Chains A and B, each alone.
Chain A
Amino acid sequence: MTYTAASGLFAATWLLLLFPLVGAALLLLGGKALDRAGYQFATLMPIASFVLAVVLFFHLKSQPTSGRAVDDHLYSWIAVGGFHVSAGLLLDPLSMIFVLLITGVGSLIHIYSIGYMAHDPGRRRFFGYLNLFVAAMLLLVLADSYLGLYVGWEGVGLASYLLIAFWQYKPAAGTAAKKAFVMNRVGDVGLSLAIMLMFATLDKVDYAGVFGGVHHIGHADLTAIALLLLLGACGKSGQVPLQGWLPDAMEGPTPVSALIHAATMVTAGVYLIARSAPIFDLAPEARLVVTIVGAVTLLFGAAVGCAYDDIKKVLAYSTVSQIGYMFLAVGLGPAGYAIAIIHLVAHGFFKATMFLGAGSVMHAMDDQVDMRRFGGLRSVMPVTFATFLMGYLAIIGFPLWSGFWTKDKIIEASFDKGGTSGYILGICALLGAGVTAFYMTRLMILTFFGKRRWTEGVHPHESPVSMTAPMIVLAIGSAVGGFLLILNGGVQHWLTPVLGKSAEEGVHTVNGTVLTIITLLVVAGGMSGAYVAFGRPTVRIPWTPPQAGAVVTAARRNLYGDAFNEAVFMRPGQYLTRFLVFVDGRGVDGAVGGLAALVGGTSGRMRRAQNGFVRSYALSMSLGAVALVGALLLVRFG
């Protein structure tokens, strides 16, 4: 696989990164002088990148298909002996789509934040972090090697971490940030081991080198690389078993939830797998694992989404679930790569719309998030309602709206996989669509319809134009985006050079029209279920959640995901720490914090006295020496 060297206009690719990077540097290092005007400057940066991205897109489109992968070499990053990694950017159809999504949605959310963060004392810092995020995310998708991708990967992690903890006075924010950090590290271990393994087998970590050499890697190694990449992807994208951090990340400001934890960063896992298509193509077992992870996650997210009353948490679990769909699709291999990307872009629009809508509602309701305190907002906030409606119709797959085109494709492709596994995956996807319709309808009814259950003293009002304008733009995208993306298979053809030929014209297991009708029936079932439970005029929604049976309780507790983490990771970690502290010659004194204390967020503290006696140190040295001598002699003579 070779890439064309960048020349002419393409040599300006690096400017895409430069704009937000300059913004971040200026705002974060500039100090208080920029408190007043800095945010306007920061908002211009992603817009500048977006304009450049559009120009580059048309330029890329004008190239012949074979010349649409352009490598912009920046400098020689590592050059030691036989090992070379260049710092370079790869602009190809896949990264182009992501660049447009990131800068486009990113620009809108910067504009929205002007209104949303108008009265926040940390506004300059907030915009600085947002710019930093955009720069890191662009690097993630534009890097031309796994090592470069890793830099961006860590960068977005850092920005996400900083933004989750942005409202530092909320203790929950700090805990959530820690949880995100730890779970992401687990994923990062996978990604970095995958990169090391690529290096071990191929001596290369750049895309051209790795994809050119995949045929020389043994099947076991290849599967290991693919599974490690999947682990990395699961961490970043909040997939089971690393899903726990994403809903907690909603402690950050809502624009952050929309941009990072819905539209862009959390889809990086899907990007990683799609980008590694040449590896996954040759590792069908790993692909099967990807589809299983996707199917489990989409049902998990949808199930838990039904139980929460916190509007942002519901949207967060819905994000987990929708990314599950993308994983499912991307795991299907050539048949699904393009569909996954299309659903990803569509999701970026409709989920951002709904998050911004949720932010607008919270803005109006004094930052409350409990849907039991909403109700009847339709008439008070007409623009928010209308735009949210677009997002809602898109996500449930209402005919002609985005989801109808993109999610149905995934369901169809799952069935088309064939065999028993195809049917199981297809039914999971179908079921997920029904549950999605249920919980989203519930959210709509509780928020915008029914009686007004507001807390006293709350006077909702429509948000300012700087907030509603981006919502309107995104809502239009949600409404028609899916159709435009799917039109004439445009995106599929566009992506063919990177992801291989989409196997759309393969044999259908289930007739397309019949499947569409079944899907619509399932969705209608979910909607009417929600109406019967919450929407009928006779139903009263109490302020406090009623007692519930075992299933609902389980769902309210994230299906015991946190309890599982605690039992499997936190406790053993604590025991290890305790053991080591003991061995360290100090005894166990006071409470023990631990490797894992942080996993659950209860950062236990260790008080320890300065009681290290030289004699015990000397004893431990002697024992160590005996062990060392014994071991060496054992190796030699044993």
Chain B
Amino acid sequence: MIAAAGVAAAVPGQITTPVIDYRQLSPLLIVFGAALLGVLVEAFAPAAARRLTQILLAGTGFVAAFVMVVVNHSFRGLVASRAVAVDGPALFLDGTILLLALGSLLLLADRSGGNADALVADPAALPGTQEASALLASTDTVTEAFPLMSFSVGGMMLFSQSNSLLTMFVALEVLSLPLYLMAGLARRRRLLSQEAALKYFLLGAFSSAFFLYGLAMIYGFAGSVELGDIFNAAANTSKDDTFLFLGMALLLVGLLFKIGAAPFQAWTPDVYQGSPTPVTAFMSAGTKVAAFGALLRVFYVGFGDIRWDWRPIMWVVSIATMVVGAVLAITQQDIKRMLAYSSIAHAGFILVGFTATNAQGLAGTMFYLLTYGFTTIGAFAIVGLVRDGNGEATHLSQWAGLGRRAPFQAAAFAFFLLALAGIPLTSGFMAKFYVFQAAINGGAAGLVVVGVITSAITAFFYARVIVLMFFAEPVADGPVVAEASGYAAGAVGLGLAVTLVLGIVPASVMTLAHNAAVFVR
């Protein structure tokens, strides 16, 4: 009988063809389309024209996708057989990712101070050989990086708007795999870069496995991978829910790894330091947005009803992340490592908004991601310009007296640091204020106390860099600051403009985030 019923349910012809809502999916389709076209360009376009074609192609893709996000701004619903959500948070974060991708693209295309960019000419050349040294000055570059980036951007967008855990897992891989490759593409310090790529890959694969295992357990509990079904199963269950919590914990491991939250932050400094700076900027801005988007969606939509069970854990994670990031950043001597620890601390601050578990927290988190992304891209853009004979001069001692050598660049960097420190009249202050007040409203005042204290600690090491740049004697054979090309200047300008405007007149973007802060289920 049972077998017969099973057969009956699987009668051929009962599977309905999924309806594809092309208009709602168009941002994703455009970005992925541009990426595929980019692969074709690699195959068929003449070498001389490739670079420019790729830049234009990727840029056009991002802009067109952004336009479609704006066009779709009022749509709310589940599309593609309920696998993809198009709702306020999805649209807001998609738009954010696309704008940040544009900024990162500028950095990736940048050739300030010569004809070479930050990417290696031939990744296959053995480090240390003559061939490899000859390539340092080559004007060639791995143009594959541009389609890789487009794939990753598409993955990021999908990651934050998947309504099904399976789609989310696919998106996780689509966003991660290109990043593993890109991390290994640095033109200089090849070994460091390759080491970073390998570490990132191994640990990323490790965390993906956790995610997948968690997915399986959740499926075992709920009988579905759709977030809405998981919500219902968790809310109305009378059976043993061990698998639910086991699965939830494992999913959390995978997501916290991508965010770079404690205790899964160990990879961040090494990977940030080794990757080419444009890629670091892209990772720290884009991945953070996407991963937080996914975290918010899974926990607010799927596990929203049992939030009183996971909230205490998030308290601990958030506090640990803030403290580890803030305190360890103090002892850093490398500017990229310092920014890596700062990104860990910021992940902690954003988790404060997440832990608020109210609409305000959701809106605050989204606003924070937007402001942090632009500030961090601007900061890395400046890092990419400060160089010595061996490429980027990232040791802090080399930044001594930079304010005299390059007052504008140093001032811009100081401004970004002040924003990261959350000093008023910068977007960083408004963002912190927003998530902290959401957390207070959500009954997490204790988190806010820790948040305020750790942000006071972070302010110290940002200030230390500012002092070093403006109040220390320049070192004798210090780095030169490359004349910024239009690309780099554009990225810095974008970062400055957003950081300043959202610090002084944040009301309209805050309202946008506020109105977008409702998930569909």
User: A: which residues have CB within 8 A of B?
Assistant: 31, 75-81, 83, 147, 150-151, 154-155, 158, 161, 165, 168-169, 173-174, 177-178, 181-182, 185-186, 188-189, 192-193, 196-197, 199-200, 576-577, 580-581, 584-585, 592-595, 597-598, 603, 605-608, 610, 612, 614, 616-618, 620-621, 623-625, 627-629, 631-633, 635-637
Per the bound structure, the CA–CA distance linking A605 and B464 in Å amounts to: 12
Q: Which residues of B contact A581 (CB under 8 A)?
A: 328, 331
- Asked if A80 and B514 sit within 8 Å, CB to CB, the answer is yes
Which of A76, A78, A597 has its CB near the most chain B CB atoms (within 10 A)?
A78
Per the bound structure, the CA–CA distance linking A556 and B434 in Å amounts to: 46
- Asked if A625 and B249 sit within 8 Å, CB to CB, the answer is yes
- Asked if A168 and B202 sit within 8 Å, CB to CB, the answer is no
- Asked if B245 and A633 sit within 8 Å, CB to CB, the answer is yes
Count of chain B residues near A, Cβ 8 A = 77
- Asked if A592 and B331 sit within 8 Å, CB to CB, the answer is yes
Q: Which residues of B contact A631 (CB under 8 A)?
A: 249, 312-313, 316
- Asked if B331 and A608 sit within 8 Å, CB to CB, the answer is yes
- Asked if A635 and B313 sit within 8 Å, CB to CB, the answer is yes
- Asked if A165 and B437 sit within 8 Å, CB to CB, the answer is no
Q: Mark B215-256, 1 if CB is under 8 A from A, else 0.
A: 000000000000000000000000001100110111011001
Query: B425 an interface residue at 8 Å Cβ cutoff?
Result: yes
Chain B at the A interface: SS class? helix
Q: Which residues of B contact A155 (CB under 8 A)?
A: 424-425
Which of A31, A178, A635 makes the CB contact (< 8 A) with B309? A635
Q: Which residues of B contact A592 (CB under 8 A)?
A: 331
Which of A161, A594, A614 makes the CB contact (< 8 A) with B198? A614
Which of A603, A625, A633, A636 has its CB near the most chain B CB atoms (within 10 A)?
A625
- Asked if A79 and B507 sit within 8 Å, CB to CB, the answer is yes
- Asked if A620 and B460 sit within 8 Å, CB to CB, the answer is no
- Asked if B331 and A196 sit within 8 Å, CB to CB, the answer is no
Name the residue of chain B whose CB is nearest to the CB of A166.
B471
- Asked if B263 and A623 sit within 8 Å, CB to CB, the answer is yes
**With contacts A80-B360, A174-B467 known, what are 18 further pairs, Cβ within 8 A?**
A76-B507, A77-B505, A78-B430, A78-B507, A80-B513, A150-B424, A151-B425, A168-B470, A174-B471, A177-B471, A189-B456, A199-B437, A595-B457, A610-B192, A614-B202, A614-B203, A631-B312, A631-B316
Per the bound structure, the CA–CA distance linking A580 and B344 in Å amounts to: 14
Query: B207 an interface residue at 8 Å Cβ cutoff?
Result: yes
Per the bound structure, the CA–CA distance linking A197 and B440 in Å amounts to: 8
Per the bound structure, the CA–CA distance linking A80 and B505 in Å amounts to: 12
Q: How far is the CB of A172 from chain B (nearest CB, A)?
A: 12
Name the residue of chain A whose CB is nearest to the CB of B397.
A605
Per the bound structure, the CA–CA distance linking A592 and B206 in Å amounts to: 32
User: Could you pull out 24 A-B pairs where Cβ atoms are within 8 angstroms?
Assistant: A76-B507, A77-B506, A78-B506, A80-B510, A80-B514, A81-B359, A81-B514, A83-B437, A165-B471, A185-B460, A192-B452, A196-B452, A197-B440, A577-B331, A594-B330, A594-B331, A603-B464, A610-B270, A621-B203, A621-B264, A629-B250, A632-B245, A633-B249, A636-B245
Choose, from B82-90, B170-178, B441-449, the stretch at the interface: B441-449
Q: Which residues of A contact B452 (CB under 8 A)?
A: 189, 192-193, 196
- Asked if A189 and B453 sit within 8 Å, CB to CB, the answer is yes
Per the bound structure, the CA–CA distance linking A632 and B249 in Å amounts to: 7
User: B: which residues have CB within 8 A of A?
Assistant: 192, 198-199, 202-203, 206-207, 210, 241-242, 245-246, 248-250, 252-253, 256-257, 262-264, 266-267, 269-270, 309-310, 312-313, 316-317, 323-324, 327-328, 330-333, 359-360, 363, 407, 423-425, 430, 433-434, 436-437, 440-441, 445, 448-449, 452-453, 456-457, 459-460, 463-464, 467, 470-473, 505-507, 510-511, 513-514
Q: How far is the CB of B279 from chain A (nearest CB, A)?
A: 18
Per the bound structure, the CA–CA distance linking A186 and B460 in Å amounts to: 11
Q: How far is the CB of B291 from chain A (nearest CB, A)?
A: 15
Q: Which residues of A contact B257 (CB under 8 A)?
A: 621
Q: Which residues of A contact B316 (CB under 8 A)?
A: 631
Per the bound structure, the CA–CA distance linking A628 and B207 in Å amounts to: 14
Name the residue of chain B whose CB is nearest to the CB of A594.
B330
- Asked if B510 and A79 sit within 8 Å, CB to CB, the answer is yes
Per the bound structure, the CA–CA distance linking A581 and B440 in Å amounts to: 31
- Asked if B333 and A625 sit within 8 Å, CB to CB, the answer is no
- Asked if A606 and B331 sit within 8 Å, CB to CB, the answer is yes
Smallest CB-CB A-B distances: 6 pairs: A624-B263, A606-B331, A151-B424, A168-B471, A629-B249, A185-B456
Contacts A594-B331, A612-B270, A617-B203 given; does A168 touch B313 at CB 8 Å: no
- Asked if A181 and B460 sit within 8 Å, CB to CB, the answer is yes
Q: Which residues of B contact A576 (CB under 8 A)?
A: 327
Name the residue of chain B whose CB is nearest to the CB of A150.
B424
Q: Which residues of A contact B206 (CB under 8 A)?
A: 618, 621
Per the bound structure, the CA–CA distance linking A193 and B249 in Å amounts to: 32
- Asked if B198 and A633 sit within 8 Å, CB to CB, the answer is no
- Asked if B310 and A79 sit within 8 Å, CB to CB, the answer is no
Per the bound structure, the CA–CA distance linking A629 and B425 in Å amounts to: 41
- Asked if B514 and A185 sit within 8 Å, CB to CB, the answer is no
Q: Which residues of B contact A151 (CB under 8 A)?
A: 424-425
Q: Which residues of B contact A603 (CB under 8 A)?
A: 464
- Asked if B266 and A620 sit within 8 Å, CB to CB, the answer is yes
- Asked if B199 and A193 sit within 8 Å, CB to CB, the answer is no
Q: How far is the CB of B270 from chain A (nearest CB, A)?
A: 5
- Asked if A181 and B463 sit within 8 Å, CB to CB, the answer is yes
- Asked if B250 and A606 sit within 8 Å, CB to CB, the answer is no
- Asked if B266 and A584 sit within 8 Å, CB to CB, the answer is yes
Per the bound structure, the CA–CA distance linking A8 and B210 in Å amounts to: 67
Per the bound structure, the CA–CA distance linking A594 and B328 in Å amounts to: 9
Per the bound structure, the CA–CA distance linking A83 and B347 in Å amounts to: 25
Q: Which residues of B contact A177 (CB under 8 A)?
A: 467, 471
Q: How far is the CB of A149 from chain B (nearest CB, A)?
A: 10
Per the bound structure, the CA–CA distance linking A623 and B253 in Å amounts to: 11
Q: How far is the CB of A534 from chain B (nearest CB, A)?
A: 38
Name the residue of chain A whose CB is nearest to the CB of B424.
A151
Q: How far is the CB of A468 from chain B (nearest CB, A)?
A: 32
- Asked if B253 and A625 sit within 8 Å, CB to CB, the answer is yes
Name the residue of chain A whose CB is nearest to the CB of B269.
A612
Q: Which residues of A contact B264 (CB under 8 A)?
A: 621, 624
- Asked if A78 and B472 sit within 8 Å, CB to CB, the answer is no
Q: Which residues of B contact A185 (CB under 8 A)?
A: 456, 459-460
- Asked if B328 and A584 sit within 8 Å, CB to CB, the answer is yes
Q: Which residues of B contact A182 (CB under 8 A)?
A: 460
Q: How far is the CB of B299 from chain A (nearest CB, A)?
A: 12
Name the residue of chain B whose CB is nearest to the CB of A162.
B470
Per the bound structure, the CA–CA distance linking A627 and B470 in Å amounts to: 44
Q: Which residues of A contact B330 (CB under 8 A)?
A: 577, 593-595, 597
Q: Which residues of B contact A81 (CB under 8 A)?
A: 359-360, 514
Per the bound structure, the CA–CA distance linking A614 and B257 in Å amounts to: 14
Which of A178, A181, A603 has its CB near the most chain B CB atoms (within 10 A)?
A181
Q: How far is the CB of A442 from chain B (nearest CB, A)?
A: 35
Q: How far is the CB of A579 from chain B (nearest CB, A)?
A: 9
Per the bound structure, the CA–CA distance linking A174 and B270 in Å amounts to: 31
Per the bound structure, the CA–CA distance linking A165 and B507 in Å amounts to: 35
Contacts A581-B328, A625-B253, A633-B249 given; does A154 touch B423 at CB 8 Å: yes
Per the bound structure, the CA–CA distance linking A185 and B511 in Å amounts to: 30
Q: Which residues of B contact A173 (CB under 8 A)?
A: 471
Q: Which residues of B contact A606 (CB under 8 A)?
A: 331-333
Q: How far is the CB of B395 from chain A (nearest CB, A)?
A: 11
Q: Which residues of A contact B437 (CB under 8 A)?
A: 83, 196, 199-200
Contacts A193-B452, A584-B266, A608-B331 given; does A178 touch B203 at CB 8 Å: no
Which of A31, A169, A617 has its CB near the most chain B CB atoms (within 10 A)?
A617
Q: Which residues of A contact B514 (CB under 8 A)?
A: 80-81
Per the bound structure, the CA–CA distance linking A389 and B511 in Å amounts to: 59
Per the bound structure, the CA–CA distance linking A617 and B266 in Å amounts to: 6
Which of B253, B360, B407 makes the CB contact (< 8 A) with A624? B253
Name the residue of chain A whose CB is nearest to the CB of B213.
A625
